[in-house]
């Protein structure tokens, strides 16, 4: 099988056959070509792209914006196995500061609150686990975690961190209380189909968290200024689905999933508790930080 692009013939969110062309640029365009070559470096031979166009359509029924041409299976494996800069991506995670982990901590605290259950009673799937740092932290918070990831390098790394990984979705449905999919759905060829499969993996009352790049300004920028490399939400070949809050909700609705409000972060009980802790830590207790100057 050779690597090529295939055109998506219907809306990936609502399956409508109709579509309006918003923008197109041949891949042999100078600035697009330079961007792709700089981005993928020596790892990819992109000569095959010369025959294709970077083409963005909008679905007139649901308003979804998407790249028409996506890589076939062979191309997808090459892209995520070989072309993406694994070293850079891993380095970025390894160099992450505590702020990233604080963000993870907030998300993990939310899960337990959403279910009003202690973490050890909840089963989580991280779909598109990447290098495994979120899953590792979820385990440390007491959840029962399984991580699923297509890239063998990432799986191996996650295992080295002690993460429990799985190779495919478990048989039967209703396996998980919570599914976490961070920066995954913008990459998928068939997002609706995938989301339906994940919905079936949720127990009744289960919750899925989807996080994708915010594409709300992409359409107007494409129409007024054309493509430029800062339009990350519609990154050629990779971010083939460009969501807004509205279209992400439409996708979920079509998979028979309803939105849930996140738990309120500022609650008065915690505020007073927090204040008491601050006063104690600063002036009353015997746990103190010391620095050698």
User: Rule CB under 5 A: which residues touch Zn ion?
Assistant: 11, 13-14, 16, 59, 61-62, 64
| Smallest distance from Zn ion to CB 244, Å | 12
Q: How far, rounded to the nearest angstrom, does the alpha carbon of residue 190 sit from its chain's CA centroid? A: 14
**Backbone CA torsion sign across 30, 31, 35, 38:** positive
For Zn ion, the closer CB: 182 or 254:
254
- Least distance in angstroms from the C-beta of 161 to Zn ion: 39
CA distance 60 to 110: 36
Minimum CB separation of residue 250 from Zn ion in Å reads: 7
Residue with Cβ nearer Zn ion (13 or 222): 13
- Report the distance separating Cα 63 and Cα 85, nearest Å: 32
Nearer to Zn ion, 20 or 38 (CB): 20
93 versus 249: smaller Cβ distance to Zn ion: 249
Kindly tell me which of 61 and 86 has the beta carbon lying closer to Zn ion. 61
Placement of tokens 């129409």 in the chain:
223
Q: Work out how close the CB of 128 gets to Zn ion at its nearest, in angstroms, rounded to a whole number.
A: 23
In whole angstroms, the minimum distance from the beta carbon of 35 to Zn ion comes to 28
Q: Minimal distance in Å, beta carbon 157 to Zn ion?
A: 37
φ/ψ bin of 81: left (φ > 0), alpha (ψ from -120 to 50), beta (otherwise): alpha
Cβ closest to Zn ion, residue 12 vs residue 75: 12
Task: Output the CA torsion sign for 13, 16, 22, 28.
Answer: positive
Tokens 């009744």 belong to which residue? 204
CB of 196 to Zn ion, least distance (A): 15
Which residues make Cβ contacts (< 8 Å) with residue 220, sequence separation at least 6?
none
Strands 123-127 and 176-182: parallel
Instruction: Establish how many alpha carbons lie within 13 A of residue 138's alpha carbon, considering only the half-sphere containing its beta carbon.
Output: 27
Output 11 or 148, the one with its CB closest to Zn ion: 11
Exposure string for 29-51, b = 16+ CB within 10 A, e = fewer:
eeebeebbeebbeeebeeeebee
């Amino acid at each position: 099988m050779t690597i090529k692009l295939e055109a998506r013939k219907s809306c990936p969110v609502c399956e409508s056959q109709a579509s309006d062309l918003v923008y197109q640029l041949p891949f042999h365009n100078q600035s697009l070509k330079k961007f792709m070559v700089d981005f993928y470096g020596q790892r990819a031979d992109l000569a095959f792209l010369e025959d294709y166009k970077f083409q963005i359509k909008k679905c007139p029924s649901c308003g979804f914006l998407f790249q028409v041409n996506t890589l076939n299976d062979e191309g997808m494996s090459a892209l995520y196995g070989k072309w993406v800069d694994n070293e850079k991506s891993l380095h970025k995670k390894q160099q992450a500061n505590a702020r990233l982990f604080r963000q993870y901590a907030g998300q993990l605290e939310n899960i337990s609150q959403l279910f009003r259950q202690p973490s050890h009673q909840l089963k989580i799937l991280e779909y598109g686990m990447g290098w495994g740092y979120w899953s590792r932290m979820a385990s440390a918070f007491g959840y029962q975690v399984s991580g699923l990831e297509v890239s063998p390098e990432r799986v191996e790394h996650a295992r080295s961190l002690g993460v429990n990984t799985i190779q495919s979705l478990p048989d039967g449905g209703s396996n998980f209380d919570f599914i976490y999919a961070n920066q995954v759905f913008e990459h998928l060829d068939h997002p609706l189909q995938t989301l339906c499969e994940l919905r079936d993996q949720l127990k009744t009352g289960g919750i899925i968290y989807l996080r994708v790049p915010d594409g709300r300004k992409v359409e107007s920028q494409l129409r007024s200024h054309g493509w430029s490399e800062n339009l990350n939400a519609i990154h050629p070949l990779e971010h083939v689905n460009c969501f807004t809050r509205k279209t992400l909700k439409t996708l979920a609705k079509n998979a028979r999933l309803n939105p849930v409000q996140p738990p309120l972060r500022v609650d008065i009980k915690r505020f007073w508790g927090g204040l008491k802790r601050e006063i104690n830590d600063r002036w009353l207790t015997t746990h103190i930080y010391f620095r050698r100057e």
